Amino acid sequence: MNRVTITDDLSFSRIVYGMWRLDDDSDTSPAHVQAKIEACLEQGITTMDQADIYGGYAAEKVLGNALRSAPALKEQIEIVTKCDIVAPAGRYSDARVKYYDTSRAHILSSVDHSLRLMDVDKIDTLLIHRPDPMLDHHETGAALDEVVASGKVRSVGVSNFKLHDWTLLQSAMKTPLITNQIELSLTAHQGFTNGDVAYLQERNVPIMAWSPLGGGTLVSGEGDGALRTAMTKLAQANGTDIGAVAVAWLLAHPANVMPVMGTNNLNRIKSLSDALKVDMDRQTWFELYTAALGQEVP
């Protein structure tokens, strides 16, 4: 599998395994989580996407239990995690309201929590999970620089940021932001025309795409009939399924999009790389895009 250069000493697999629902499985044993990671590794998928809030602040611990049981895995994977969302759950159950916290104290505390829960010495990439309307960019930027300088975090980025959010935070930092994780799919394609992708592509910043299957609607039979028909036809022609087609559509874009694939189904995990088998030329890409738009391009 191709890899995407993140920094001079860090690269990600082109497809990322998302652990949003890692705790929401009938089997969260270390052995079963290890099997999921090993299924990824067999395909060259080495990058694991986490967040402190996933599973009500429980998913990082589920991963950590597996890494304690099979410590050799730590040297074979890259870990992305996120912070700044505080919701009334888990260790923040006493919070009166869901809010964002990008203060230095919260970032440093979140990093230490994540390191301990995942049983790792370093986070490969830490993302600010959501733009904070109360952002003090000087404080947040300095805190992100600090966690990198401390050796606890190798690189930093953001998630769900708009251009102005990105430039504000970056203006107060010495460390470059290395990615923006945004929603991109055939059902959430606005990023390709509203400047979200163009801004990052211009700066050669790799993009992580969350919900690449449209929250599951692209494979569940919901949504536009024309799009499903086009995807089914292409899947049959390539001997795969429509999920692989949806991911291949993102992979075909020249902006180095890295789809974040979240599933607990082990068989589905074993087939994540099937997207690489799909022949996606320019006209095919636009056939799917046209079906997603519901009309031909202007």
Segment 176-234, tens digit of pLDDT? 999 999 999 999 999 999 999 999 999 999 999 999 999 888 888 665 589 999 999 99
- Mean pLDDT calculated for residue range 45-52: 98
23 falls in which pLDDT band (50, 70, 90)?
confident
Pairing of strands 177-183, 207-210: parallel
Assess whether pLDDT exceeds 70 at residue 35: yes
Q: How many CB atoms lie within 10 A of CB 96?
A: 6
Q: How high is the pLDDT of residue 223?
A: 57
Rounded to a whole number, what is the distance in angstroms from the first to the last CA of the chain? 35
For residue 58, give Cα distances in angstroms to 68, 95, 165, 243.
16, 17, 28, 28
Q: Average pLDDT, whole number, for the chain?
A: 96
Helix then strand then coil, in percent of the chain rounded to 5, is 45, 20, 35
Catalytic residue status for 57: no
For residue 137, give Cα distances in angstroms to 95, 98, 141.
24, 21, 6
Q: Which has the closest alpha carbon to 217: 239, 185, 194?
A: 185
Assess whether pLDDT exceeds 80 at residue 58: yes
- Mean pLDDT calculated for residue range 135-148: 98
